[in-house]
Chain A
Amino acid sequence: MPISDSDPRLDVAHAAGAAAVALRGCWNVQGLSDGAGGARARRRIAALRGALTDCAADASARWDLTRVEALDHVGALMLWQAWGGRRPAHLEMREQHRQLFDNLAAIVHAPAAAARRDLLAPVAAVGAEMLRFLEHLTGFVRLLGQLSLDLARFAARPQAGPWREISANVYRAGAQALGITALVGFLIGIVLSYLSAKQLKQFGADVFIVDLLGVAIIRELGPVLAAILVAGRSGSAMTASLGVMRVTEELDALTVMGIPHGFRLIMPKVLALAVALPLLILWTDAVSLLGGMVAAKIQLDLSIAFFFDALPAAVKIENLWIGLAKGAVFGALIALVSCHFGLRIEPNTESLGRGTTSAVVSSITVVILADAVFAIAFSNVGI
């Protein structure tokens, strides 16, 4: 590398028994880092520090800083560290640089926290985790309580309710999700029909595909599928929007204006999902069954008309009601869990990401838990 005038360097001369050290070039961040930093600059800095330390070992050395082209705090700090935190006996420098070293003398370090080994740390961690879980639980219960109060208020005076917010949420969580639920539902219908058709054919039980698809989709798959898609789509959006509102103090602004955010933000979301999800489930069921029919037609040569005829007999209507009831419960749960996490977001970007992830994971888990409860509670209805 060609040496230019502004490269930082040391001139060491030995005269009359004492070393004379003269600094030249740019001893500032620009000069030291070569403009953009990188490995070469790092090697050069290491070399300079080595040379400085060698020179500083000689207490009688004469230091001459008057000929540097530029010197800033970083350059001064390298010298200061080589000198061991004090000025050498023989030092010449320009007046304007004196202040730099005065500033360096004022550096205060935070006392390093003593790293103590704690044998009980794992136990404490488990305990902290438990407490955190309990805290989540109480927070969730408080949210539920607030929701009940808000619902009572809404029921008492429905004309003063947040209709606009509810309809906006139904549109966003419901209408805008029609495309994705249709696509996923159709494909799942095809896959399910295709795989079961092969098995049924072996036993000559072709016609039972209608029973299989009907019960599986209407009672179980449709609701869970739609709920998971909505949890990923709308749940995360709800958490993020509430989180950002909390970070930017919009929630506080609402509170001081006397606009309760439980009534205006959370209840509309819960109601909207409780309405939109059953409708989405109906739609997903229909499209999945269509997919199943198409696959059955191709694989088993079962006509569409036959499918329509056989369906009402094969699947009792209770299954549809159970599916839709599940939808309402799942929707409310997803909205509640998402709002719960949204309200706990701390004012930093990391917490926003973490909160959104937790919201989606938790709401899907809660949906599946609720699904298990439904399965046990209604085990002898409709089958």
Chain B
Amino acid sequence: MAATAHSDDYVIEIEGLWTRFGDFVVHRGVDLKVRAGEILALVGGSGSGKTTLLRQMLGLETPHQGSVRVFGQRLDTADTVALRALRNRWGVLFQEGALYSALPVFDNIALPLRELKCFDEALIRDIVHLKLAMVGIEARHAAKMPADLSGGMVKRIALARALALEPELVFLDEPTAGLDPDRSDSFVALIRSLHRELKLTVVMVTHDLDTLFELTTCVAVLADQKVIANAPVREVIAIPHPFIKTFFLGERAQRAIEVIRDYPFVV
């Protein structure tokens, strides 16, 4: 039965995770815990294994060693029924959107709802239009095919699809890459309002410092094949580590910090 998570429950627990591709070690004992209601950003250099870690949290890849638990459930040992129920509780936005190219926009968003086989079409239609309105896509685009959309629209529609089942947990891979600054801002506002209304937990990979400062409650830094920090951004900045220095205190970062208005965003 659908049990709602208590605020101090861990939604994701990763312990002692090792990943190897041949002789090449990507993760060397990664530990990471995410509480319910957190907005966590995963940062790290290019090739540090963020996407790989995200795929392991989704059960798309299995680590060589260590365990990944989502909602207290081990992904590698869970049976298909449990895994299916689990997958209805999360939504995923892939880096390239991954919309189903053979289906129009409307059906892309309706698909997960129809798959549950318990909502009628009138309700599904309203839900789809609501999601489209939430991500700022006009209703007239609902009949278009994914190939006829711009890159930013694909991203927003993929987000609408990720949110279709009102998940408790959403994974976002580079959500604001390819959005114009205005859209990035409305994306931040959307996630913030969903977080407030639905107690959403968010795990995202992002290089966008504005999003990072405005949205996250926690930043996990992946460097030296480990998670070297997992704390609010204000504390992370203070850590003397070369990667953190260049990432947050470089010239670009300084410019971004100057424009921050109200951070860190407190729940």
CB distance from B76 to the nearest CB of A (A): 21
Q: In the bound complex, what is the Cα–Cα distance between A104 and B129 (angstroms)? A: 10
Q: In the bound complex, what is the Cα–Cα distance between A245 and B165 (angstroms)? A: 34
Choose among B1, B119, B138, B147 the residue that contacts A35 (Cβ–Cβ < 8 A).
B1
Instruction: Indicate whether B88 reaches chain A with its CB closer than 8 angstroms.
Output: yes
Q: A35-B88, A109-B139 are in contact. Are A4 and B102 (CB under 8 A)?
A: no
Choose among A34, A74, A99 the residue that contacts B197 (Cβ–Cβ < 8 A).
A99
Task: Determine if B101 and A348 form an interchain contact, defined as CB atoms under 8 angstroms apart.
Answer: yes
Note all chain B residues with C-beta closer than 8 A to A346: 147
Note all chain A residues with C-beta closer than 8 A to B130: 73, 77, 103-104, 106-107
Contact with B along A340-371 (1 / 0, CB 8 A): 00000011111000000000000000000000
Stretch in A37-45, A114-122, A325-333 touching the partner = A37-45
Contact with B along A95-131 (1 / 0, CB 8 A): 0110110011011111000000000000000000000
Instruction: Indicate whether B266 reaches chain A with its CB closer than 8 angstroms.
Output: no
CB distance from A41 to the nearest CB of B (A): 4
- Name the residue in B127, B145, B147, B166 with the highest tally of chain A Cβ atoms < 10 Å from its Cβ: B166
CB distance from B6 to the nearest CB of A (A): 12
Choose among B100, B125, B134, B139 the residue that contacts A103 (Cβ–Cβ < 8 A).
B134
Choose among B2, B127, B129, B166 the residue that contacts A108 (Cβ–Cβ < 8 A).
B129
Task: Determine if A74 and B101 form an interchain contact, defined as CB atoms under 8 angstroms apart.
Answer: no
Q: In the bound complex, what is the Cα–Cα distance between A348 and B198 (angstroms)? A: 35
Within A64-117, the residues touching B (CB, 8 Å) are 69-70, 72-74, 77-78, 81, 96-97, 99-100, 103-104, 106-110
Task: Determine if A36 and B116 form an interchain contact, defined as CB atoms under 8 angstroms apart.
Answer: yes
State the main secondary structure of chain B at its contact with A: helix
Choose among B4, B102, B118, B198 the residue that contacts A6 (Cβ–Cβ < 8 A).
B4
Task: Determine if B118 and A107 form an interchain contact, defined as CB atoms under 8 angstroms apart.
Answer: no
Instruction: Indicate whether B7 reaches chain A with its CB closer than 8 angstroms.
Output: no
Note all chain A residues with C-beta closer than 8 A to B89: 30
Choose among B1, B115, B127 the residue that contacts A4 (Cβ–Cβ < 8 A).
B1
Instruction: Indicate whether B142 reaches chain A with its CB closer than 8 angstroms.
Output: yes
Task: Determine if A37 and B101 form an interchain contact, defined as CB atoms under 8 angstroms apart.
Answer: no
Note all chain B residues with C-beta closer than 8 A to A74: 119, 123, 127, 166
Q: In the bound complex, what is the Cα–Cα distance between A28 and B147 (angstroms)? A: 33
Note all chain A residues with C-beta closer than 8 A to B142: 110
Task: Determine if A109 and B129 form an interchain contact, defined as CB atoms under 8 angstroms apart.
Answer: yes
Note all chain B residues with C-beta closer than 8 A to A41: 116-118
Contact with A along B183-199 (1 / 0, CB 8 A): 00000000001001110
Q: In the bound complex, what is the Cα–Cα distance between A72 and B85 (angstroms)? A: 18
Note all chain A residues with C-beta closer than 8 A to B140: 110
Note all chain A residues with C-beta closer than 8 A to B8: none
Instruction: Indicate whether B63 reaches chain A with its CB closer than 8 angstroms.
Output: no
Note all chain A residues with C-beta closer than 8 A to B238: none
16 CB < 8 A contacts A-B? A6-B2, A6-B3, A7-B1, A28-B166, A29-B165, A31-B2, A37-B115, A38-B117, A38-B118, A41-B118, A72-B166, A81-B126, A104-B130, A106-B133, A108-B129, A110-B142
Task: Determine if A110 and B139 form an interchain contact, defined as CB atoms under 8 angstroms apart.
Answer: yes
Task: Determine if A45 and B147 form an interchain contact, defined as CB atoms under 8 angstroms apart.
Answer: no
Task: Determine if B133 and A42 form an interchain contact, defined as CB atoms under 8 angstroms apart.
Answer: no
Interface size class of A (residues with CB under 8 A): 35 or more
Instruction: Indicate whether B122 reaches chain A with its CB closer than 8 angstroms.
Output: yes
Within A152-191, the residues touching B (CB, 8 Å) are none
Instruction: Indicate whether A26 reaches chain B with its CB closer than 8 angstroms.
Output: yes
Note all chain A residues with C-beta closer than 8 A to B85: 35-36
Instruction: Indicate whether B84 reaches chain A with its CB closer than 8 angstroms.
Output: yes
Q: In the bound complex, what is the Cα–Cα distance between A69 and B134 (angstroms)? A: 24
Choose among B84, B123, B138, B196 the residue that contacts A78 (Cβ–Cβ < 8 A).
B123
Instruction: Indicate whether B239 reaches chain A with its CB closer than 8 angstroms.
Output: no
Q: In the bound complex, what is the Cα–Cα distance between A77 and B127 (angstroms)? A: 8
Instruction: Indicate whether A32 reaches chain B with its CB closer than 8 angstroms.
Output: yes
Task: Determine if B118 and A77 form an interchain contact, defined as CB atoms under 8 angstroms apart.
Answer: no
In the A-B complex, the 3 residue pairs with the smallest Cβ-Cβ separation, listed nearest first, are A37-B116, A30-B2, A348-B101
Q: In the bound complex, what is the Cα–Cα distance between A7 and B2 (angstroms)? A: 9
Instruction: Indicate whether A146 reaches chain B with its CB closer than 8 angstroms.
Output: no
Within A1-47, the residues touching B (CB, 8 Å) are 4, 6-7, 26, 28-39, 41-42, 45
Q: In the bound complex, what is the Cα–Cα distance between A103 and B81 (angstroms)? A: 33
Q: In the bound complex, what is the Cα–Cα distance between A107 and B3 (angstroms)? A: 30
Q: In the bound complex, what is the Cα–Cα distance between A110 and B122 (angstroms)? A: 14
Q: In the bound complex, what is the Cα–Cα distance between A70 and B198 (angstroms)? A: 8
Q: Which residue in chain B gives the minimum CB-CB distance to A106?
A: B133
Q: In the bound complex, what is the Cα–Cα distance between A363 and B168 (angstroms)? A: 52
Q: Which residue in chain B gives the minimum CB-CB distance to A7?
A: B1
Given A33-B118, A109-B125, A348-B145: 13 more A-B contacts, CB < 8 Å: A4-B1, A7-B1, A26-B4, A35-B88, A73-B127, A77-B127, A78-B123, A99-B197, A100-B197, A106-B130, A346-B147, A347-B147, A349-B101
Choose among A73, A99, A104 the residue that contacts B166 (Cβ–Cβ < 8 A).
A73
Choose among A4, A42, A100, A110 the residue that contacts B117 (Cβ–Cβ < 8 A).
A42
Task: Determine if B129 and A107 form an interchain contact, defined as CB atoms under 8 angstroms apart.
Answer: yes
Instruction: Indicate whether B143 reaches chain A with its CB closer than 8 angstroms.
Output: yes
Q: Which residue in chain B gives the minimum CB-CB distance to A46?
A: B120
Q: In the bound complex, what is the Cα–Cα distance between A32 and B127 (angstroms)? A: 14
Note all chain A residues with C-beta closer than 8 A to B175: none
Instruction: Indicate whether B97 reaches chain A with its CB closer than 8 angstroms.
Output: no
Within B118-159, the residues touching A (CB, 8 Å) are 118-120, 122-123, 125-127, 129-130, 133-134, 138-140, 142-143, 145-147
Note all chain A residues with C-beta closer than 8 A to B146: 348
